[in-house]
C-alpha cells in the first residue's frame, strides 16, 4: 500500500509534517512525497524539502494527503496539473485526505461535491463554492474522504487515519511516540475562543494577502456555538 503526500510551492510545512509523523510509520505502507516534478519544493520561506518523485511517476496512491497553504487557495482557483492529478487518482484511492486549505484543492478536483468537509477556519465559505458542506469540526470523515481543519489539525487527522488503517493500539502508540499531550499556553486556536482583536488582526492580514475579503470567514456551523458561548 502506498501513501503519497502532495507538495507544491508555497505549501505550509506543518500541514505536511504534522500528519507525516504518524502516517510515515504505518506498518505495510510505503510513504512518498510527490510534487509536480521531482526535486526541491519550497514553502515560500526558509523551508525547502525534496520531493523524490513527480506526479507522472508515482502511479496510484492508496492514501492521498494534500496539505494546504495560501498557495493551495490559488491553485484551487486556477486549476492545473495538480488539480487534474488529484481528479485522476481519487477514484482509485482507499483514502483521499487533506489538511487545512488542501481541502480546496480536493474541492477543485470535484472530490467534495455534496460531502461534509472542513478546512482552515478562514476558508469555510470558499469550501462551499466547490460543492462541499463546510463543517466546523477538527476532522471530518465522509466515507473515504477525510478532511482536517487548519494546519495543526493534520496531527489529529493522522491519528484518526492511523486507527482506521492500523487499529487503535497502533494509533495510541503513535500518539505516545510523539508525546501528543497538548498544552497550548493560550486559548486562541479557533475564532470562537481567540480574543476578538487578535481574530480581527489576523483576518485582516489574510484578506490583504488574498486580495479580497472572504465573504464569511466564520464557519456557518460555528455561528450557533458562538451564540451559545
Positions that interact with a second copy (CB under 8 A): 12-14, 16-18, 20-21, 24, 31-33, 40, 45-50, 52, 100, 120-121, 138-139, 149-153, 155-156, 159-160, 163, 168-169, 171-173, 175-186, 188-191, 193-195, 197-199, 201-202
Q: How far is the CB of 188 from a second copy (least distance, A)?
A: 4
| Residue of 63, 100, 160, 161 marked catalytic | 100
Which residue number, 84 or 177, has a Cβ lying nearer to a second copy? 177
Give the count of beta carbons closer than 10 Å to the beta carbon of residue 72: 31
C-alpha cell recorded at residue 111:
472530490
CB of 22 to a second copy, least distance (A): 9
Pick 1 or 198: Cβ nearer a second copy: 198
Smaller CB separation from a second copy, 87 or 220: 220
Contacts for 72 with CB less than 8 Å, ≥ 6 apart: 8, 10, 11, 66, 100, 101, 102, 104, 105
Cα–Cα distances in angstroms (integers) from residue 166 to residues 22, 169, 171, in the given order: 11, 8, 7
Do 4 and 63 meet the contact criterion of CB atoms below 8 Å apart?
yes
Strands (E), the chain: 2-6, 30-35, 39-42, 48-51, 53-54, 63-66, 95-99, 116-117, 133-134, 139-142, 145-148
Please say if 38 is a catalytic residue. no
Q: 83 vs 102, which CB is nearer to a second copy?
A: 102
Closest of 50, 96, 41, 106 to residue 75, by C-alpha: 106
In the complex, what is the shortest distance from the CB of residue 110 to a second copy, in angstroms, rounded to a whole number?
25
Distances (CA, A) of 60 to 32, 72, 84: 12, 22, 14
Considering beta carbons, is residue 95 or 121 the nearer one to a second copy?
121
Give the catalytic positions in this structure: 100
Amino acid at each position: 500500500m502506498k501513501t503519497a503526500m502532495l507538495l507544491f510551492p508555497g505549501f505550509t510545512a506543518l500541514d505536511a509534517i504534522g500528519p507525516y509523523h504518524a502516517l510515515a510509520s504505518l506498518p505495510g505502507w510505503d510513504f512518498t512525497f510527490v510534487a509536480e516534478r521531482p526535486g526541491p519544493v519550497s514553502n515560500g520561506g526558509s523551508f525547502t524539502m525534496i520531493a523524490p518523485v513527480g506526479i507522472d511517476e508515482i502511479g496510484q496512491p492508496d492514501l492521498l494527503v494534500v496539505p494546504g497553504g495560501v498557495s493551495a487557495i490559488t491553485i484551487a482557483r486556477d486549476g492545473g496539473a495538480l488539480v487534474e492529478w488529484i481528479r485522476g487518482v481519487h477514484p482509485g484511492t482507499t483514502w483521499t485526505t487533506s489538511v487545512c486549505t488542501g481541502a480546496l484543492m480536493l474541492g477543485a478536483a470535484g472530490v467534495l461535491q455534496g460531502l461534509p468537509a472542513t478546512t482552515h477556519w478562514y476558508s469555510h465559505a470558499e469550501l462551499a463554492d466547490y460543492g462541499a458542506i463546510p463543517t466546523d469540526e477538527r476532522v471530518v470523515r465522509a466515507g473515504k474522504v477525510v478532511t482536517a481543519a487548519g494546519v495543526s489539525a493534520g496531527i489529529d487527522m493522522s491519528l484518526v487515519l492511523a486507527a482506521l488503517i492500523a487499529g487503535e493500539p497502533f494509533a495510541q502508540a503513535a500518539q505516545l511516540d510523539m508525546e501528543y499531550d497538548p498544552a497550548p499556553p493560550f486559548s486562541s486556536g479557533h475564532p470562537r475562543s481567540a480574543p476578538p482583536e487578535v481574530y480581527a488582526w489576523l483576518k485582516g492580514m489574510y484578506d490583504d494577502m488574498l486580495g479580497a475579503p472572504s465573504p464569511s470567514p466564520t464557519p456557518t456551523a460555528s455561528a450557533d456555538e458562538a451564540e451559545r458561548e
